[in-house]
């Protein structure tokens, strides 16, 4: 920091304004005018003492400002973490003894369907399912994956059970009114409700796609296997 910057940093707004007027009136550099003004303000203590004192005050204020920003940032981060935890709890709910994930895909859409499901139970019980599921659109594939998962849960006597899926369409359709359901999905919806009647302690929850990776991988595996099988049949018929 040069002398001019040091003098300007030490001067109050009033002292800076007075120094500028002095520089214009006396036709002297601003640095000299500041030195004169601040020397007058320093009195018997001297200019150097004044500059040191005000530098210490600025440093203390900067430290307080940093502490305030740090505390504010910490508060915001704590609020962000709490909001994230609350959102996760709303999405995923409290842990249950059994948990299941489902996913389905159609390639193209509509096209050949592959479905995947994963069921986890107490004491490390785990079931993974991956299979072809005929022809349909992506919502039909998702529904068939959910049916596969619920059928498996019934076989294992799973409950209480929380089911997770990334298809907002299917989750909303299952939880919504029959009148709002698309005609093509109603038979699938009826099957899901029949299975849920056998699993009374079951909750369906939507999760983002990136949290449904394992079920997605199972459905994609089924789609890929079906494509390979069709390709092999085509090559065999040539």
Q: Among candidates 98, 104, 113, 176, which has minimal Cα distance to 143?
A: 104
Do 126 and 38 have their domain in common?
Answer: no
Which residue among 89, 107, 122 closes a domain? 89
More confident position, 166 or 224: 166
CB count, 10 Å around CB of 224?
Answer: 13
Do 233 and 115 have their domain in common?
Answer: yes
Do 102 and 66 have their domain in common?
Answer: no
Give kind and range of the element (H or E) at residue 119: strand 111-120
pLDDT mean over 86-90: 59
Percent of the chain with pLDDT over 90: 65
Which residue among 53, 68, 89 closes a domain? 89
Split at pLDDT 50, 70, 90, the class of 86 is low
| CA atoms in the 13 A half-sphere facing the CB of 122 | 8
Q: Among candidates 151, 143, 135, 131, which has minimal Cα distance to 185?
A: 143
- The rounded radius of gyration (Å) of the Cα atoms in the chain is 35
Do 60 and 79 have their domain in common?
Answer: yes
pLDDT tens for 32-54 read: 999 999 999 989 889 999 999 99
Q: Is the pLDDT of residue 123 over 90?
A: no
Do 77 and 39 have their domain in common?
Answer: yes
Do 83 and 143 have their domain in common?
Answer: no
- Residue 190: its pLDDT value, please? 97
- Residue 232: its pLDDT value, please? 57
pLDDT tens for 176-210 read: 998 888 999 999 999 999 999 999 999 999 999 99
Do 113 and 171 have their domain in common?
Answer: yes
pLDDT mean over 111-122: 95
129: containing domain = 98-237
Which residue among 47, 67, 89 closes a domain? 89
Do 72 and 154 have their domain in common?
Answer: no
Split at pLDDT 50, 70, 90, the class of 233 is low
Residue 168, classed as helix, strand or coil, is helix
Query: Which DSSP string corresponds to 15-79?
Result: HHHHHHHHHHHHT--HHHHHHHHHHHHHGGG-HHHHHHHHHHHHHHHHHHHHHHHHHHHHHHHHH
Which CATH number belongs to the domain containing residue 190 in this structure? 3.30.420.10
Do 51 and 103 have their domain in common?
Answer: no
Do 211 and 113 have their domain in common?
Answer: yes
Burial of 208 (0-12, 13-18, 19+ CB in 10 A): exposed
Total domains, the chain: 2
Q: Please state whether beta strands 202-206 and 161-165 pair in parallel, antiparallel, or not at all (unpaired).
A: parallel
- Residue 237: its pLDDT value, please? 60
Separation of alpha carbons 146 and 92, rounded Å: 17
């Amino acid at each position: 920091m040069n002398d001019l910057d040091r003098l300007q940093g030490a001067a109050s707004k009033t002292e800076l304004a007075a120094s500028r007027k002095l520089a214009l009136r006396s036709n002297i550099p601003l640095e000299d005018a500041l030195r004169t003004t601040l020397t007058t303000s320093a009195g018997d203590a001297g200019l150097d003492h004044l500059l040191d004192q005000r530098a210490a005050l600025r440093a203390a204020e900067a430290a307080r400002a940093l502490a305030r920003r740090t505390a504010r940032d910490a508060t915001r981060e704590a609020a962000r973490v709490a909001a994230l935890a609350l959102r996760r709890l709303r999405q995923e709910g409290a842990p249950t003894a059994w948990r299941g994930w489902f996913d389905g895909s159609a390639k193209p859409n509509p096209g050949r369907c592959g479905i995947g499901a994963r069921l986890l139970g107490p004491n490390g019980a785990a079931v993974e399912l991956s299979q072809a599921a005929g022809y349909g659109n992506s919502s039909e594939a998702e529904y068939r994956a959910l049916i596969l998962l619920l059928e498996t849960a019934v076989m294992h006597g799973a409950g209480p059970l929380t089911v997770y899926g990334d298809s907002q369409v299917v989750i909303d359709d299952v939880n919504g009114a029959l009148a709002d359901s698309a005609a093509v999905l109603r038979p699938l919806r009826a099957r899901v409700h029949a299975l849920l009647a056998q699993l009374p302690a079951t909750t369906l929850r939507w999760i983002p796609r990136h949290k449904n990776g394992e079920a997605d991988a199972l459905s994609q595996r089924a789609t890929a296997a079906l494509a390979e099988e069709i390709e092999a049949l085509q090559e065999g018929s040539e």
